[in-house]
Amino acid sequence: MSDPTANQNAHLDEVQPAVPKLDTPEPPAPLATESTTDQAATANTVTEEVHNTETATEVKEETAETPAPDVTKELGMGNTTAKAEAPVVAATPAGTAPAPPTPEIIQPPTFEAAPDAEAKDKEAEVEEPQNTLTSLFLEAEWKALKDFRAQLPEIFADAYPDKPNAKITPVTLWGISIDPTNPKADARVSVVLMKFLRARNLNPTAAREMLVNTLRWRESFNIEAALKEEFPEELFGNMGVVFGRDKGNRPVVYNLYGANPNLKEVFSDVQRFIRWRVSLQERSVALLDFTEVDQLIQVHDYAGVSLTSRDANSKAAAKEATNIFGSHYPELLYKKFFINVPTLMNWIFWAFKALIPSATLAKMSVVGNSKHALKGALLPYIDTKQLPERYGGEAEAF
């Protein structure tokens, strides 16, 4: 009759982890007289060892992905088998790879998506100070403006090559301080710069050239000195008047060329006339806030002016003044009226109409000398209380 304890121990030897073979003699087998309680305890121990060994084998398969070693061969037990009643671990069929462990699915960390370039641009536009005029800019105008503003340090360096700190030094233009290091801090700066862009069809390169030339001209002309200069009252006292506002709150500038019957004396010194005319323009532009109002209305009154009063000096002065205002005061004119124009001058104007750019022509109106014609032309733009009596309004003016 076989010893049950020996069979249980034999099964335990099959499932225990491999250990080096020792030269010491094996311990004697337990006596057959061992109590039933001891046998049950031994059986429980074997069962627990089997469970622990199975668990260890599963962990080993998950990590090393190799089958468990043949314990009986390493212990020199040959083909010895044990008929233990404990559960038997099912063997993997020959030639069949063990099932791969189920991979643990690790969720990648989630990050908040960074806003794309377009979203950043929109956010920047929201953060940038705005005013009534900048809120009317079109998308294409904003794009050109950002490019133009980025060039300001180089523009100032080109305009003032003798100033080592020109790239970082603010420049005042039309009463607005332009900081090349942070031009978007003041929305009025954007309004001023947009005038150069619009005058050059939103071409930043062409606008850059125009602004550089304007800054150079202002320095060479010495604008501040012209504003402080005193001009003969008998010649220029009544020739230029800034009076009232139009219905859009734009200042109205009146040029009264017939106020002085001695026009030859007025134009006898062409550069003096130019300095006076530029100072009048600067005083008019100073009334613009570039927040809600950024343009002027001009009324050129030719009452009392004859064709014979025009000489070489007056023509030269008119040509130079036109060039200055077109090159260095872009997009500041909202509307220009030529009133009390002699019939012959009216005919000449319309004869050359085809040569005038359409954008400029749209701002110009040639009006006759009757009060009915004047009121019909001016009242749609200037309220009757702001319009001088001589032009059909109610305002007591010059």
The answer to whether residues 188 and 262 belong to one domain is: no
Could you tell me which residue, 277 or 8, shows the higher pLDDT? 277
The answer to whether residues 58 and 143 belong to one domain is: no
* Tokens encoding 306: 């004859």
pLDDT at 120 > cutoff 80:
no
pLDDT at 40 > cutoff 70:
no
pLDDT at 29 > cutoff 50:
no
Which pLDDT band, with edges at 50, 70 and 90, does 98 fall under? low
The answer to whether residues 292 and 200 belong to one domain is: no
Q: What is the 3-state secondary structure (H, E, C) of the chain?
A: CCCHHHHHHHHHHHHCCCCCCCCCCCCCCCCCCCCHHHHHHHHHHHHHHHHHHHHHHHHHHHHHCCCCCCHHHHCCCCCCCCCCCCCCCCCCCCCCCCCCCCCCCCCCCCCCCCCCHHHHHHHHHHHCCCCCCHHHCCHHHHHHHHHHHHCHHHHHHHHCCCCCCHHHCCEEECCEEECCCCHHHCHHHHHHHHHHHHHCCCCHHHHHHHHHHHHHHHHHHCHHHHHHCCCCHHHHCCCEEEEEECCCCCEEEEEECCCCCCHHHHCCCHHHHHHHHHHHHHHHHCCCCCCCCCCEEEEEECCCCCHHHCCHHHHHHHHHHHHHHHHHCCCCEEEEEEECCCHHHHHHHHHCHHHCCHHHHCCEEECCCCHHHHHHHHCCCCCCCCCEHHHCCCECCC
The answer to whether residues 246 and 383 belong to one domain is: yes
Expressed as residue numbers, the domain containing 101 is: 1-110
Average pLDDT value for residue range 150-165: 98
Report the alpha-carbon distance of residue 154 to residue 157 in Å, rounded. Answer: 5
Position 126 in a domain: no
- pLDDT at residue number 101: 56
Could you tell me which residue, 88 or 345, shows the higher pLDDT? 345
pLDDT tens, 223-238? 999 999 999 999 999 8
User: Over the chain, what is the mean pLDDT?
Assistant: 78
Average pLDDT value for residue range 346-355: 71
User: Final residue of a domain: which of 221, 238, 263?
Assistant: 221
- pLDDT at residue number 126: 55
Percent of the chain with pLDDT over 90: 56
- pLDDT at residue number 258: 86
The answer to whether residues 268 and 286 belong to one domain is: yes
The answer to whether residues 382 and 234 belong to one domain is: yes
pLDDT at 337 > cutoff 60:
yes
Position 347 in a domain: yes
Report the alpha-carbon distance of residue 313 to residue 167 in Å, rounded. Answer: 40
Report the alpha-carbon distance of residue 195 to residue 211 in Å, rounded. Answer: 10
The answer to whether residues 367 and 383 belong to one domain is: yes
The answer to whether residues 176 and 305 belong to one domain is: no
- pLDDT at residue number 100: 55
pTM of the model: 0.68
Which pLDDT band, with edges at 50, 70 and 90, does 69 fall under? very low
CATH code, domain with 305: 3.40.525.10
Instruction: Give me the residues paired with residue 336 across strands.
Output: 298, 364
Position 300 in a domain: yes
Pairing type for strands 364-366 and 296-301 reads unpaired
Report the alpha-carbon distance of residue 61 to residue 133 in Å, rounded. Answer: 75
Average pLDDT value for residue range 351-374: 82
Which pLDDT band, with edges at 50, 70 and 90, does 104 fall under? low
pLDDT at 362 > cutoff 50:
yes
- pLDDT at residue number 31: 40
User: Final residue of a domain: which of 221, 252, 273?
Assistant: 221
pLDDT at 301 > cutoff 50:
yes
pLDDT at 214 > cutoff 50:
yes
Position 115 in a domain: no
Position 131 in a domain: no
Could you tell me which residue, 14 or 392, shows the higher pLDDT? 392
Position 80 in a domain: yes
Residue 397: CB atoms within 10 A of its CB come to 14
The answer to whether residues 55 and 97 belong to one domain is: yes
The answer to whether residues 206 and 68 belong to one domain is: no
The answer to whether residues 203 and 229 belong to one domain is: no
- pLDDT at residue number 5: 42
Average pLDDT value for residue range 295-304: 95
Position 128 in a domain: no
- pLDDT at residue number 121: 53
Q: Do 44 and 8 contact (CB within 8 A), yes or no? A: no
Position 120 in a domain: no
Average pLDDT value for residue range 82-111: 49
**What is the number of domains present in the chain?**
3
The answer to whether residues 68 and 153 belong to one domain is: no
CATH code, domain with 157: 1.10.8
- pLDDT at residue number 343: 77
Which pLDDT band, with edges at 50, 70 and 90, does 305 fall under? confident
User: Final residue of a domain: which of 92, 110, 128?
Assistant: 110
- pLDDT at residue number 345: 72
